[in-house]
């Protein structure tokens, strides 16, 4: 057997086992460690593994643990600030809002990283992702005074760290959209 | 102690009422969908509190199902339910 | 002592829920309301989960609540993105302070 084929077969088995472990742990937690739960758990873990292999046959990304930890810490602190920021704006009588639509050219290329980027951005202070267009992410910003460009670049670097990716030298810049629906940007 | 938790769960019901007002006011379908999301998140919090106060662990499973259904509802809404017209108006306080 | 901290955390969580709902009622358009909903409610749920975790009987219950929270966060952020995109493609014009 050629070594390449052997390697890919081992890789498939490792991925299968990984998924079995992940879903079994999930079940164990959901059943709150009740041993009787396995009566239902075993068939459902099997079904979940089959479904996940059907939906994503092979995982093309990997997670870099130190990068993921850095991201987690950044996420916790920033989403805390994001919640406080919007809560204060919501209860202040003057309703301090000055929204705009912007378009950010992403330096991240892989789709999974872009999805994590968009979801993260929506939980940080003052930004809400509202759609992908080619290599750009269109965002709604609560207050145009906020230093959005810098924080978007920071998030992007942390997300790249999670998957051990290097950022493209292209992009990382922001344009303010003059038409309100973001169809055309300056 | 569980009385306090009951009290806090009922405070969260105020949040659900706010969502109901938003459903009533709209003005467009996206606003109503957003209120449905509010029910999802607040419902999860209320159920987790009740699971603790009433000592009914099964309510945590209900919370889990709430979270899953809220996600499905949003996707179904965007994919299927809302066929927007070309000039839907949404701006302006209401 | 633990009980007091736990209740305090849950109260903070409830305050974030109420602030988020204030935003959902007071903010002028669907986009700004989505900001209030995704950010404030997810943080509110985080504090509620944290407070309940201090009172939980076992670690597995803590883990379960954290999984539910993570699910709500991911679903909330993604749903917010999708609803905002649907609003934008159907020309729901964002509110602006000027003009």
Average pLDDT of the residues in A145-163: 88
**Per-residue confidence (pLDDT) for residue B48, from 0 to 100:** 93
Statement: residue A28 has pLDDT above 50: yes
**pLDDT band for position B84 (50/70/90)?**
low
Searching chain C, which residue's CA lies closest to the CA of residue B81?
C86
C-alpha span between B76 and A28 (Å, rounded):
30
Q: Is some CB atom of chain B closer than 8 A to the CB atom of A32?
A: yes
Instruction: Let me know whether A38 and A108 are in one domain.
Output: no
CB distance from A130 to chain C under 8 Å?
Answer: yes
pLDDT score, position B77: 84
Which residues on chain C are in Cβ contact (under 8 Å) with B1? Answer: 3, 7
User: What mean pLDDT comes out for the span B79-94?
Assistant: 52
Supply the pLDDT for residue A102: 87
Chain A positions in Cβ-Cβ contact with residue C74 (cut-off 8 Å)? 119
Query: Quick one: pLDDT at residue A135?
Result: 86
Asked if the Cβ–Cβ distance from A100 to C96 is below 8 Å, we say yes
| Per-residue model confidence as pLDDT tens digits over B55-65 | 888 899 999 99
Residue A7 is assigned to a structural domain of this protein: yes
Residue A94: inside a domain? yes
B93 touches chain A (CB under 8 A): no
Q: Measured between CA atoms, how close is C58 to chain B, in angstroms?
A: 12
Residue A43 has pLDDT above 50, yes or no: yes
Q: What is the DSSP string of C57-76?
A: SSHHHHHHHHHHHHHHHHHH
CATH number at A150 reads 3.30.70
The chain-wide mean pLDDT, for chain A, equals 85
Structure token digits, residue A78: 């920033």
- CB contacts, 8 Å: A32 with chain B: 57, 60
Domain hosting A97: range is 65-176
User: A30 vs B57: CB contact, 8 Å cut-off?
Assistant: no
Assess whether pLDDT exceeds 50 at residue A186. Answer: no
Cβ contact (<8 Å) for B64 and A32? no
Angle at A111 between CA C64 and CA A79, to 5 degrees: 45
Domain count for chain A, please give it. Answer: 2
Same domain, A51 and A69: no
Q: What's the whole-number mean pLDDT along residues B11-22?
A: 89
The whole-number pLDDT of residue B89 equals 44
Instruction: Mark whether A26 and A69 lie in a shared domain.
Output: no
A35 and A105 both lie in a single domain: no
Residue in A with minimal Cα distance to C25: A90
A24 with A72, same domain: the answer is no
Sheet with A127-133, side-by-side order of all strands: A127-133, A136-141, A100-105, A174-176
Contact A128 C81 (CB under 8 A): yes
Query: How far is the alpha carbon of A104 from chain B, nearest alpha carbon, in Å?
Result: 23
- Residue A112, domain member (yes or no): yes
- In this structure, the answer to whether residues A32 and A98 fall within a common structural domain is no
pLDDT at A179 over 70: no
The nearest CA of chain A is from the CA of B21 a distance in Å of 16
Q: Residues A125, A150: one domain?
A: yes
**How high is the pLDDT of residue B92?**
38
Claim to verify: residue A74 and residue A158 sit in the same structural domain = yes
A40 within domain boundaries: yes
Angle at alpha carbon of residue A30, lines to A80 and C74, rounded to 5°: 35
Which residues of chain C fall below pLDDT 50? none
Q: Does A184 touch chain B (CB under 8 A)?
A: no
Instruction: Tell me which residues of chain C have a C-beta less than 8 Å from any C-beta of chain A.
Output: 15-16, 19-20, 22-23, 26-29, 31-32, 34-36, 38-40, 42-44, 58, 60-61, 63-64, 67, 73-74, 77-78, 80-81, 84-85, 87-89, 91, 93-97
CA distance A42 to chain C (A): 19
Q: Which residue of A has its CA nearest to C32?
A: A142
Q: Give pLDDT, residue A1.
A: 56
Which segment of A26-35, A56-65, B48-57, B76-85 scores lowest on mean pLDDT? Answer: B76-85
Interior CA angle at A125 toward A119 and A129, to 5°?
Answer: 35
In a domain, A101, yes or no: yes
pTM of the model: 0.86
DSSP code for B42: H
Judge if A102 and A29 occupy the same domain.
no
Least confident of A60-64, B10-14, B19-23, C53-57: A60-64
Residue B87: per-residue pLDDT: 43
Residue A108 domain flag: yes
- Main-chain dihedrals φ then ψ at residue A88, nearest 5 degrees: -65, -40
Q: Give rounded-to-5 percent helix, strand, coil for chain B.
A: 80, 0, 20
> Both A91 and A171 in a single domain?
yes
Above 70 in pLDDT, residue A185?
no
Are A121 and A72 members of one domain?
yes
Domain boundary among A55, A73, A89: A55
From A72's Cα to the closest Cα of chain C, the distance in A is: 12
A37 occurs within a structural domain? yes
Domain boundaries, chain C: 2-89
CA–CA min distance C24, chain B (Å): 7
pLDDT the model gives residue B90: 44
The pLDDT of residue B93 is above 60? no
What pLDDT digit, counting tens, does each position of A96-137 carry?
888 888 888 888 888 888 999 999 999 988 899 988 888 889
In a domain, A136, yes or no: yes
């Amino acid at each position: 057997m050629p070594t390449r084929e052997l390697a890919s077969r081992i890789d498939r088995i490792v991925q299968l086992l990984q998924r079995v472990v992940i879903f079994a742990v999930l079940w164990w937690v959901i059943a709150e460690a009740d041993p009787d739960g396995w009566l239902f758990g075993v068939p459902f873990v099997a079904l979940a593994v089959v479904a996940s292999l059907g939906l994503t046959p092979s995982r093309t990304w990997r997670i870099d643990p130190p990068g993921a930890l850095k991201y987690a810490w950044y996420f916790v602190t920033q989403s805390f600030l994001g919640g406080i920021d919007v809560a204060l704006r919501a209860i202040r009588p003057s309703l301090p809002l000055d929204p705009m639509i912007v378009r950010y050219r992403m330096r991240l290329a892989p789709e999974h990283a872009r999805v994590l980027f968009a979801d993260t951005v929506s939980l940080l202070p003052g930004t809400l992702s509202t759609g992908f267009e080619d290599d750009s992410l269109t965002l709604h910003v609560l207050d145009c005074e906020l230093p959005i460009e810098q924080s978007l670049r920071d998030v992007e670097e942390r997300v790249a760290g999670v998957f051990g990716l290097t950022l493209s030298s292209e992009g990382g810049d922001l344009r303010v959209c003059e038409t309100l629906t973001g169809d055309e940007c300056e | 102690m569980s009385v306090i938790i009951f009290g806090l769960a009922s405070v969260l019901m105020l949040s659900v009422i706010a969502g109901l007002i938003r459903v009533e006011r709209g003005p467009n379908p996206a606003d109503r969908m957003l209120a449905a999301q509010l029910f999802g998140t607040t419902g999860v919090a209320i159920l987790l509190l009740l699971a603790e106060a009433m000592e009914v662990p099964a309510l945590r499973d209900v919370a889990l199902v709430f979270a899953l259904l809220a996600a499905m509802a949003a996707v179904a809404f965007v994919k299927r339910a809302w066929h927007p017209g070309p000039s839907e108006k949404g701006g302006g306080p209401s | 002592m633990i009980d007091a901290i736990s209740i305090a955390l849950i109260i903070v969580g409830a305050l974030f829920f109420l602030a988020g709902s204030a935003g959902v009622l007071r903010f002028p358009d669907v986009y700004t309301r989505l900001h209030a909903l995704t950010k404030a409610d997810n943080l509110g749920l985080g504090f509620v989960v944290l407070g309940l975790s201090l009172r939980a009987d076992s670690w597995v219950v803590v883990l379960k609540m954290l999984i539910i929270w993570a699910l709500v966060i991911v679903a909330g952020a993604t749903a917010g993105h999708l609803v905002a995109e649907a609003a934008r493609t159907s020309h729901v014009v964002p509110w602006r302070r000027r003009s």
